[in-house]
Every structure is written in structure tokens, then in C-alpha cells.
Amino acid sequence: MTDVQQPGAAEEHHLEHPNYWVVWAALAALTMVELGVAFLPWSRRVVVLLLIGLAVWKALLVALYFMHLRFEKNRMRIFALAPLPLTVIIVIAVLTEFVW
């Protein structure tokens, strides 16, 4: 008995998997950069903004590759991005606390 495949069935089962070791190495490298930035003798505001930017970059890598959002449909991506406005509001509130 032979397996009969419909057109496009092989494409559905073939998913491109990222090289998780490369993503892990990138996250480790970004962590080392964060440690270096934390000890720079720059103004506190610049260091905090750099650290926030690096943290967002790392979160994006984790979401895209380890949570597999890169390979999902747009509906799932939108569902995952929906809480971001609240996150931005909270980060701005914490940053402005230093000003008040």
C-alpha cells in the first residue's frame, strides 16, 4: 500500500527549524553586552535606555525563535503583540519616576 499525498501536504509538514544554538549564542552575547553597558561611566539615563533596548532585542529573539512566532500566522503574532502597549506604558511610568 502506498501513501498518496495531496498537493501541498509535504509542504505543510516541512517546517524550517532555526538553529537554536546560534540563537542561544546571540542571547548570551547580548547578555555580555548588557553587563558591559551596566558598568559604563555614562549618565544613568543613557545606560538605562541602552539596557532597555538590549532587553527588548533579547525578548524579540526569544519570542520569534523559542516561542516560534516567526513561523506562525499573522493572527497569532498580533495576539502576542497585543500586550505591548501596556508594557510601554509601564516602562514609561517607571522611567518618569526618576524625574518626579
Write the pLDDT tens digit of every residue in 22-72.
Answer: 999 999 999 999 999 999 999 998 999 999 999 999 999 998 888 888 888
- HSE-CB of 3 using CA atoms within 13 angstroms: 4
Q: In terms of C-beta density within 10 A (0-12 exposed, 13-18 middle, 19 or more buried), how is residue 47 classed?
A: middle
pLDDT tens digits for 44-57? 989 999 999 999 99
pLDDT given for residue 77 in this prediction? 80
**Are 23 and 61 contacting, i.e. CB atoms less than 8 angstroms apart?**
yes
Its pTM stands at: 0.65
Of 22, 27, 20, the residue nearest 66 (C-alpha): 20
